Structure 1
Amino acid sequence: MFNDIVNYLREIDPTLAAFYATLFTWGLTAIGASLVFFFKKMNRKLFDGMLGFTGGVMVAASFWSLLAPGIEMSPGEGFIKTIPAVTGFGLGALFIFALDKILPHLHVNFKMSEKEGIKTPWHKSVLLTLAITMHNIPEGLAIGVLFGGVAAGIPEASIEGAVILALGIGIQNFPEGFAVAMPLRGLGLSRWKSFNYGQLSAIVEPIAAVLGAWAVLTFEPILPYALCFAAGAMIFVVVEEVVPESQQANHTDISTLGFIGGFIVMMTLDVALG
């Protein structure tokens, strides 16, 4: 089945392939959010473990699917070869840093007084959704950039790698959908509204994926920079948001083990299938 999916995506327009791949990741977010229909409250240990898992997947994907291929396809030797990685990685982190300072949002498990970004009267439910939405921008971008690299004929960018990245991100999107929907339900929103907010947090992934694929196809030399840009953005999200969110309660061991598990899963997928 994996090979059938790969062959199908190889034959269609790369931008469309990136769009389809991120529809899959969006769908898993929606499935995770749908758990709000079956559970009355959230188990905090499970929640922190899933947040840790998300962080582990993102870190592993950042290296195996983005940074390593980006460095490998960079021209030159020695320090010259690291220029695209250093530049792209730094700019990606700075992009999310700037977005973090501008976009109003509130991290899961944090108090309303700890909201970030510009001051707004927006309800807590909107701020929580925007926090997870910000997680998803670099994920969609990363998938789109890889598909664009495949279409551009870059040897280091493989269709298998792009599909594996989409699969890994989809897996960790499942708990992200849950991570939005359940706290919103706890705020008193209906199950249907909680579900809608949860699945909408991933709507940016198809948009970012299409933009990423288009950018690489239009400006092919930027591919190493774009891959490392996505990696820097993802690592910033993990360190600044995902890990602190998972460490707020007294379940640090659970979230840490979840992180290790997520890293192992993504690493195994990339090495075994890629």
Structure 2
Amino acid sequence: MIALIQTLAVAEYLSFHRAARALGTSQSSVSARIKALEDDLGIVLFDRNTRGVRLTEAGRRFVDQVHDAIGILDHAIKTAGMQARGEEGELRIGLHGLIPGGFLDHLLKRYRVEHPAIAVAMIEGSARDAIMQVRAHQIDVAFLVGTFNLLDCLSRPIWTEPLVVALPANHRLADASAVTWADLADETFLVRHGGTGPQVHDHIVLRLAGRWPPPAIQRFEVERCTLLSMVAQGFGITILGAASRLFPTAGIVFLPFLDEPEPIVFSAVWLPQNRSASLQNLLALASEMARSMPPN
């Protein structure tokens, strides 16, 4: 590598003496290294005479190629450093859904502002699907409802939201300030097959366990906005995180619970082997933003 740098210097100055002075070394050292390089290559790089030094045609081609190679190497070194610092690369995120104005929406917006060279890809699905994708290295991190104790994955609670019920605007409870689970025991609950649907289903069953008849729960293969439209049309009711109130849907009333003991928790799940700096930067930012959130 030293011989290549010295060759480039001589090619620039067309002088062994000036090249050596620029490099802070002796002329004899430069001359010896370049002569050894010429012997190894089997070509003459420079014509030397009493009037100075000039590149041979073979030397010119060689110097051009060395310039290109060093440029590629320099780019590779810079890129590797940026990736090591989480300044460049890709981040793949699994989620239940993205609500404009919600915590995750604010998190990703701020992350993209602070790390503009990171390409962020998002995949929506259920918690089960997302955890399988984390394990298969298909995504870097999943933001999911609930807390997780997985032997092969790391997880961390990030933020919380109160639970609310979505009712049609003409519902008998629409004018109430809050509801209890007993108020909803005879209602038909609508849940999704995907997204948070499986967890919502299990939560309803848990809260209304022991009642007869058991809760009426209908499951649909629809997106969140379609489910809320069905609620507005009177098909039934549903429960969700309070951030869903930020998603405008005509004909719906959102009410808090009086007897829901804790807000729902949203956690990050990722593999311990994933030491990506871009992932660590996202998790650090998520924790910082969560600490500054007002209490529920």
Q: How high is the TM-score relative to the length of structure 2?
A: 0.22
Q: How high is the TM-score relative to the length of structure 1?
A: 0.23
Q: Which has the higher contact order (CA 8 A, sep 6+)?
A: 1
User: More strand per residue: 1 or 2?
Assistant: 2
User: More helix per residue: 1 or 2?
Assistant: 1
